[in-house]
Amino acid sequence: MRNEMNRALLIIDIQNDYFPGGRMALSGMEKAANNARHALELFRAEDLPIFHVQHVSNRAGATFFLPETEGVKIH
């Protein structure tokens, strides 16, 4: 028997700046987002803990994940 209390989903930096049109577009982000969505659906169906981590860059000279921009938002 699995102990469900030891399972949680951690989704990190699935943010607009990493997608086409963003300030730091990465290849493969659509596939990553689809995989994250699938995992999210499974964890929601089982009512298991889910944590979203959003990177917000406040340092001087930062070029992406800037506060109050579209790019910082969860995709």
Given a cut of 90, is residue 2 above it in pLDDT? Answer: no
Q: Which amino acid is at 15?
A: Q
Given a cut of 60, is residue 31 above it in pLDDT? Answer: yes
Residues in Cβ contact with 6 at an 8 Å cutoff, skipping those fewer than 6 apart: none
| Residue 69 CB coordination number (10 Å) | 15
Token readout for 17 is 């700046």
Q: List the CATH number of the domain containing 67.
A: 3.40.50.850
Which among 54, 53, 37 has a CA at the least distance from the CA of 45?
37
What pTM was computed for the model? Answer: 0.83
Q: Which residues pair with 47 in a beta bridge?
A: none
Q: How many domains does the chain have?
A: 1
Give the structural domain span for 10. 1-75
